[in-house]
Structure 1
Amino acid sequence: MDISEKKHFLTLKDYSVSKETFDLYQDEALDMLVTFPQPDENNLARYYESADYISHTDSKRSLFEKAYHFVKNIALKNKLDLINSLQSNKGRILDIGAGTGEFLSVTKQNGWQTTGVEPSDKAKSIAMNKGISFVENTSELESNTFDVITMWHVLEHVPDLDKQLKELKRLLKVDGTLIVAVPNFKSFDAKHYGKFWAAYDVPIHFWHFSKTSIKLLFEKEGMQLKKVLPMKFDSFYVSLLSEKYKTGKMNFIKAFFVGLRSNWKGKRNFEYSSHIYVIKNS
């Protein structure tokens, strides 16, 4: 990746695994940040070996994990309501980065035909025990066959962004809907925590998006951003981890008030901790 024309934005550490230092550079034309250096495929897996990375487990060992899964169940209902409101027919849905399969399990029970993609063998085995079907790679799938494709906090993990966007375009039906959820580096909690903001999550987050970057990136592939929705729970979860990275402990009370303030600020300027983007194929 050529960063010679990009402006340096921030230097920060991988606080959860390697403790290595990385830089964020700003792509001003797209209004997004890029992580540098980015690990290659042979070294990438080791950066996911963190106890804090709980989306690949159903574990409820601690109060934090129990709270996470409680909120996750509420979020699952909201996600199901969203896709049902966007598509009149319950057709085929593809979830890229399906994790342990909770979302696809809920949609399958609701009458959707489900397919998942998940690189983590551990997470995939948990999901398969729930009756979820997977393909190893989206290249196995036929073009223009999915009514809905979802990527819940996954696009920021994709090494080859241009290739992924083209693949999403290929897989969606002409009138299909793409739902992408990603962190927002322009949120209050991002600015408050700076280099300790957990949602930077370097180096496994290659890209850091704004509303402008999502709009421009998908427009280049002939897809239109139709709606932006807040993910209000994310500010609390991210603030809690950010407190741990900053102080060495989870300060629940302080994190709660930072999350609350972030959502209050977001209500005024619509820069929430994370956003859901509803994108239509055309």
Structure 2
Amino acid sequence: MIDLPKYFDLCVEMKKLYISKDYYAPIKRNNNFSKDDYWLESVDPDGNKRNRIDEKEQYISDISAEMDYINKLKPGKILDIGCGLGWLLSAVDDAWEKHGVEISQYASEYATKYANIKNDDFLNVDYDSNFFDLIVMHHVIEHMENPIENLKQAIRMLKDGGTMIIATPNFDSGCARLFGNNYRLLHDSTHISLFSDDSMQRMLRDHSLLVDYVDYPYFNTRYFNKENLDKLFKTNEISPAFYGNFMTFYCRKNK
């Protein structure tokens, strides 16, 4: 059972997003835990207990597409916004000058073994303009109350022609439309800014980011299996992981 406000209807919110041309749909959630609790034991949409501290190898495997892309870039300065426990930065070649920002004190202290970490809200962090060659926001923008202001801050810090990678759930995917409020990515109560593929494309374009391409990771991941495919026919239950649920945008800052 996904805990949602009584007024909320995902399909209606996504339709309104398309008509209004807003960039995201905000949702008020009941978050009764601290910023550190997110990194401790939790329960996934299927009711399985998980502890993120034990998931390093799986996490790095899950971001293999992003890492393949990063490894082809000329090393420079990288910033991982919402770097969590620092595992993406740990997988980046040491030829890069690595920086991260993380709001959780617990996670940021853990991540210091991999990079230069600032423990703060990203909007409070003051890096120089045009400082970074690569900025990554991997499944963090949906957790932000002010995603547009955070994006503007990141763009200011990115060099002209620099690369930005943004990954986030697609709340207007085929699976989201089919399952509505049973869409599994609504389960996380820290998902408070909901994007569609269309709205994210518009937001990036309107803020001088050129989208080189968009990836929808699924077929080469652990989620592509018969069990998840069978769940597609059970629309009265929590939706399965499926193609189009996640989207990753590879962008460049317009010179």
TM-score category (smaller protein)? 0.7 to 0.9
Deviation at 1:107, TM superposition (A): 0.8
Deviation at 1:256, TM superposition (A): 5.2
2:63 is the alignment partner of 1:90: no
Q: 1:122 to 1:73 in 2, by over 3 A?
A: same
2:79·2:98 contact (CA, 8 Å) conserved in 1? Answer: yes
Aligned residue for 1:159? 145
Deviation at 1:204, TM superposition (A): 1.4
SS in structure 1 of the partner of residue 80 of structure 2:
strand
- The residue type paired with residue 252 of structure 2 is K
Q: 1:43 to 1:126 in 2, by over 3 A?
A: closer
Matches within 5 A, 1:132-211: 132-137=115-120, 138=122, 139-201=125-187, 203-211=189-197
Aligned residue for 2:87? 102
CA RMSD of aligned residues (A): 3.5
2:247 is the alignment partner of 1:275: yes
Deviation at 1:33, TM superposition (A): 5.2
Q: 1:32 to 1:199 in 2, by over 3 A?
A: farther
TM-score scaled to structure 1, two decimals?
0.69
Distance in 1, matches of 2:5 and 2:34, equals 13
List per-residue Cα deviations over 1:95-115 (Å, max 9, x = no partner).
011111111011143x21110
2:166·2:248 contact (CA, 8 Å) conserved in 1? Answer: yes
1:94·1:149 contact (CA, 8 Å) conserved in 2? Answer: yes
Deviation at 1:233, TM superposition (A): 6.4
List per-residue Cα deviations over 1:133-192 (Å, max 9, x = no partner).
212344321111111100111111111122112112101000101100011123233234
Query: Percent sequence identity over matched residues?
Result: 25
Q: 1:124 to 1:39 in 2, by over 3 A?
A: same
More helix by share: 1
Distance in 2, matches of 1:190 and 1:234, equals 21
2:47 is the alignment partner of 1:57: no
Deviation at 1:72, TM superposition (A): 2.3
Aligned residue for 1:72? 59
Aligned residue for 2:100? 116
| Alignment gaps of 5+ in structure 1 | 1-11, 60-67, 240-251, 267-271
Distance in 2, matches of 1:22 and 1:204, equals 18
| Alignment gaps of 5+ in structure 2 | 233-238
Deviation at 1:126, TM superposition (A): 2.0
Deviation at 1:274, TM superposition (A): 0.6
Aligned residue for 1:30? 21
TM-score scaled to structure 2, two decimals?
0.76
Q: 1:47 to 1:125 in 2, by over 3 A?
A: closer
Distance in 1, matches of 2:136 and 2:50, equals 16
Aligned residue for 1:126? 110
Match of 1:254 among 213, 221, 227: 227
Deviation at 1:218, TM superposition (A): 1.7
Distance in 1, matches of 2:23 and 2:221, equals 20
- The residue type paired with residue 134 of structure 1 is I
Distance in 2, matches of 1:44 and 1:195, equals 25
- The residue type paired with residue 275 of structure 1 is M
Q: 1:70 to 1:116 in 2, by over 3 A?
A: closer
1:99·1:123 contact (CA, 8 Å) conserved in 2? Answer: yes
Report 1 or 2 for greater relative contact order, CA contacts < 8 Å, sequence distance ≥ 6. 2
Deviation at 1:202, TM superposition (A): 5.3
SS in structure 2 of the partner of residue 226 of structure 1:
strand
Deviation at 1:131, TM superposition (A): 3.2
SS in structure 2 of the partner of residue 225 of structure 1:
strand
Deviation at 1:120, TM superposition (A): 1.5
